[in-house]
Amino acid sequence: MNNFSYSRPEDLNSALGELTKREGAKFIAGGTNLLDLMKENIERPSHLIDINHLGLNTIEATADGGLRLGALVTNADTAYHENVVTHYPLLSQAILAGASAQLRNMATNGGNLFQRTRCYYFYDLATPCNKREPGSGCGALRGYNRIHAILGTSDQNSETACIATHPSDMCVALAALEAVVRVTGPAGERIIPFADFHRLPGNEPWRDNTINPGELVTAIDLPPKGFSTNFAYIKLRDRTSYAFALVSVAVALEIENNRILDARVALGGVAHKPWRKPEVEATLIGQPVSEANFQAVAEALIDGAKGYGHNTFKIELAKRAIVRALQQAAKLEPTA
């Protein structure tokens, strides 16, 4: 780890002021990802601003009937919170599918959004990586890419190529639930719909999200609709616990008399951000619950997917996982 100085502000404005004032400063909350990256010399902040004493550590009902998750509530406290378990079980299950109990006790909701990719080449300073070192190339494209993306990748230009995935489970559920991220910064407070928070690599693979310099996430708002009756989170990985997803699927359905009234499908482990196609989800609305309909949706969601060798299996795996998750959410017995 590089040397750095440290401060522990007690209020939000001081924390934001310090970030603006100090070049190379970073916020630290749970530290589970940042300190790991610092030990690898991937992150080298000159100063750490410990934000653990700013408040932002409560879960509260909102006026519209939703739920506000404070940015500094731990992942564990969120997953086991009575209101989350009862009204947003998809979120609870997704969080508990990720990391270990120790890490969930440390990691915060705000920090989860800022997790960096676990691409081996991003972590290995001896190899090129456009995310870590813009313009240096992509080691994964023609390298070992079992864990890498199949959708929304950037692979046309070596100086911007990136096939990294976003590693979070929690964010896949937040995408399906259409959460809203609240941020505050020098320009005041703003809200970012979850679908716009993370981004695809495009021509700037070094940018993971759309937050502006100097901004801080203060909360994540869940809309009133929690899909607590028909939901599923399926995570497929190389071992059954404590591993990142090869493919994960969050499904949220609203069903009445065997007709689908609302449908959300979000995928993890396949792209630079949680993957959704609302126009494909819309084709399910008004349709009966049926395996054929679910298979059609799986095909359409994965349409355009591209494998890079070691990860090509993800294309078929993702389709089957989508069908299985939709069946599970609809309480339809799988046929295979």
Partner 1 sequence: MQTILSSETGARSQNVLPEKRSITLTINGLVHKLELAPWTTLLDALREYLQLTGTKKGCDHGQCGACTVLVDGKRINSCLTLAVMKEGSEITTIEGLANENGLHPLQTAFIEHDAYQCGYCTPGQICSAIGMINEGHAKTLQDIRELMSGNICRCGAYSNIVDALQEVMKIDSNETV
CB of 53 to partner 1, least distance (A): 9
CB of 125 to partner 1, least distance (A): 15
Instruction: Give the x-and-dash track for 12-41 against partner 1 (CB under 8 A).
Output: ----------xxxx--x--xx--xx-xx--
Told to check if 206 binds partner 1 by CB under 8 A, we report no
Burial 29-56 (b: 16+ CB within 10 A, else e): bbbbbbeebbeeebbebebbbebeebeb
CB of 14 to partner 1, least distance (A): 13
Residues 6+ apart with CB under 8 A from 212: 185, 187
Name residue 126's amino acid: A
CB of 97 to partner 1, least distance (A): 10
Told to check if 5 binds partner 1 by CB under 8 A, we report yes
Told to check if 76 binds partner 1 by CB under 8 A, we report yes
Told to check if 85 binds partner 1 by CB under 8 A, we report no
CB of 47 to partner 1, least distance (A): 5
Given a contact cutoff of 8 angstroms between Cβ atoms, the answer to whether 195 and 146 are in contact is no
Task: Name which position in 7, 13, 20, 158 contacts partner 1 (CB under 8 A).
Answer: 7
Span between the terminal Cα atoms of the chain, in Å = 50
Told to check if 242 binds partner 1 by CB under 8 A, we report yes
User: Where along the sequence are the contacts to partner 1 (CB under 8 A)?
Assistant: 1-8, 22-25, 28, 31-32, 35-36, 38-39, 44, 46-48, 50, 52, 76, 80, 99-103, 105-106, 241-242
